[in-house]
Structure 1
Amino acid sequence: MTIALFVIFGLLIFTMFRKQRKVQAQMREKAEQMKEKLLPGTQVMTQFGLYGTVVSVDRDENKVVMELSPGNPATVHLQAVTETLDPAAADQPVVPDDASSLTAPDAGATRSETPEETLKRLNDEKDNGK
């Protein structure tokens, strides 16, 4: 009876350690694949939800310089970059911040504004509100 309990206990411990090793191996493999993809120009996401484009990678100091928006770089730790984004996923439709497009005649059409067009539109709205 006692021997059977030790055998069952030993099997449980063995399966726990085996599963843990498999998970660690998968994580290492995923990290290696991501390191290979981490090149300048790649769009990435960090652990804390920042999206940006890789400008440079310094593997010796574990630093990645990302451009969050044009002219706005940020330096993060290499391990903070958790995901590389597919270029196809970046072409999804843009959701507007306001409901004005819902009442427009072309409400079904999706059109993304360039940053320059957005800035001009917001400045025009500001000037008309005075």
Structure 2
Amino acid sequence: MDLADFFANYGLIILLVLLLVFMFWSSRRRMQKQKLEMEAKARQTVPGAEVLLQGGLYGTIVEYDADDLDKPARVEIAPGVEIKVHSQAILRIVNATEDTVTEDDFIEAEETEAEYVAGVADGDVTSISDDQKRARDADGEPTDKPQA
């Protein structure tokens, strides 16, 4: 029996065994990587950390129990607005470099809205098109931007 006959008879079996070993090795490696990522996420998931939830909401963790994952986490999504979510609904910790909405953004938006409503109440602005007509740039030329 020469080498060609050996591979003709047992080559497919050897190939299948090698494929099974590779699949086992790669899945084990992937599981270890996921475990390390979950441990890193658990270390970073502390009250005060900004998070992204699976529903696409950004918020700040108020309460989180890493030991009991069945206990809901409390996340503040706006100043004074807290929601309870399943602890596994926290998709990831948001890096400080990412652009997120802050409390100052909410205050600024409320002030802008209040100024506009005050203009409407005083009769200065009767419609959005009137607001656009009154808007002027630094040179006094009309612009198409509404006045804030």
Q: For this structure pair, what is the TM-score category when the shorter chain's length is used for normalisation?
A: 0.7 to 0.9
Match for residue 15 of structure 2? 8
Partner secondary structure for residue 40 of structure 1: coil
Amino acid at match of 1:27: Q
Match of 1:48? 55
Question: Which blocks of at least 5 consecutive residues in structure 1 are unaligned?
Answer: 93-111
Task: Name 2:111's counterpart in structure 1.
Answer: 117
TM-score (norm 2): 0.65
Q: What number of residue pairs does the alignment pair up? A: 111
User: Does structure 1 residue 33 correspond to structure 2 residue 50?
Assistant: no
Structure number with bigger Rg: 2
The runs of 4+ residues in structure 1 deviating greater than 6 Å are none
Please report the RMSD computed on the Cα atoms of aligned residues, expressed in angstroms.
Answer: 2.3
Instruction: Give the TM-score, by structure 1 length.
Output: 0.73
Q: Once the 2 structures are TM-superposed, how far is the Cα of residue 121 of structure 1 from its aligned partner? A: 3.8
The gaps in structure 2 that reach 5 residues or longer are 1-7, 128-148
Deviations 1:25-75 (A, max 9, x none): 111111110110111111100122111110111232342110111121111
Distance 1:87 1:2, change over 3 A: same
Higher normalized contact order (CA 8 Å, seq sep 6+, divided by chain length) = 1
CA distance in 1, matches of 2:37, 2:43: 10
Task: For 2:112, give the aligned amino acid.
Answer: T
Mean alpha-carbon deviation: is it higher for 72-81 or for 118-127? 118-127
| 1:34-113 equivalences in 2 (<5 Å) | 34-59=41-66, 60=68, 61-90=70-99
Separation of aligned partners in 2, 1:21 and 1:125: 65
Q: CA separation in 2, counterparts of 1:49 and 1:65?
A: 16
